[in-house]
Amino acid sequence: MSGLFDVVLPVFLVIGFGYLVTWRGLFSESAVDGVMRFAQNFAVPVLLFHSVSRLDLSAEFNVPMLLAFYIGAFASFTLGVMGARWMGRSPEDAVAIGFVCLFGNSLLLGVPITERAYGPGALAGNWAIISIHSPLLYTFGITVMEFTRARGQQLSLGRVAARALTGVLRTPLVIGILSGLVMNLLLQAGLTLPQGFWDGVDMMARAALPAALFALGGILFRYRPEGDTRVIIMCCTASLLVHPTLTYGLGRAFGLDIAPMRSAVMTAAMAPGVNAYLFSSIYGVAKRVAASTVLVGTAASVLTISVWLAILG
């Protein structure tokens, strides 16, 4: 119970505050969009740049930890695609639904909850996972969708691959991560920047999570669950139960220490984020499923995250 109130509740109170003021009409939907655009397109990429540029790449890229997390993620994607097809959804819908199961809210929820539970020093594993999260999963999701849509269109392999790569490289989160990796290498090579530069980056980075969580609450107000109950339940099960359980089991099999185990499992335990809905919106498929799953999964994760906090200690 203390884990719920001390760790989970503060994060969801910020989300709930954004939901409340939007519901009561104190904050317009256009204002919510503006805050989220600021957070996702500018502040969060700067946060990623800041964190990845300072990450000790040689020390923190724990291969067993990454394998445990990403094997669980791709297993959840497979479950989502197969389940959606079994329920009669189109191939494009199935890929989008699989992406909902694949892409958890590793940054906006995973980072603040892990930090509150275990302290800022426990985030090294989270940042290692996040540093390849968006590039890897967006590349995978966009590639699978582009190849699925290209069936019967006589498009060359190179053209489909170029389409997928262009989509990935235009993503602000990916730009922030790649810029951070470049800066990391430059710093290791001896580059020195004035402290004022890093102070400005730090100011921008500190604004990212509070703004994004507040805006997430406002956006969730729009996503009222409507229909598609079985698919939504399947997505929530894959995201909140299957992914973290597989990650935990694989972590134990790989002999992970407690710190990387906590980072991997807590990141895996997060509900689908707004990016899952944005992916569906890009292609105009399964948008209602994605939006409803973000809302239902975020609410249900209050309970499931508390359970994982108790298990991990």
Give how far the C-alpha of residue 159 lies from the chain's centroid of Cα atoms, to the nearest Å.
28
Count of the separate structural domains present in the chain: 1
pLDDT tens, residue by residue, 15-58 = 889 999 999 999 998 999 899 889 888 998 999 899 889 888 77
Q: How far apart are the C-alpha atoms of 246 and 144, rounded to whole Å?
A: 23
What pLDDT was estimated at residue 1?
Answer: 46
Q: Which residues neighbour 177 within 8 Å (Cβ) at sequence distance 6 or greater?
A: 45, 48, 49, 52, 130, 131, 132, 134, 135
Report how far apart, in Å, the C-alpha atoms of 149 and of each of 76, 134, 152, 167, 278 are: 22, 22, 8, 15, 18
Q: 157: pLDDT confidence band, cut at 50, 70 and 90? A: low
What is the residue range of 76's domain? 2-312
Q: State how far the alpha carbon of 173 is from the alpha carbons of 59, 109, 122, in Å.
A: 23, 15, 22
The pTM is what?
Answer: 0.84
User: Average pLDDT, stretch 255-261?
Assistant: 95
Mean pLDDT score across all residues of the chain: 88
Q: What pLDDT does residue 5 have?
A: 61
Given the structure tokens 């399947």, which residue do they identify? 234
Please name which of 50, 68, 26, 38 lies closest in space to residue 256, comparing C-alpha atoms: 68
Residue carrying structure tokens 């956006």: 219
Q: Is 165 left (phi over 0), alpha (psi -120 to 50) or beta?
A: alpha
* CATH label of the domain that carries residue 11: 1.20.1530.20
- As given in the structure block, the two tokens for residue 124 are 């090294």
- Give percent above pLDDT 90 in the chain: 51
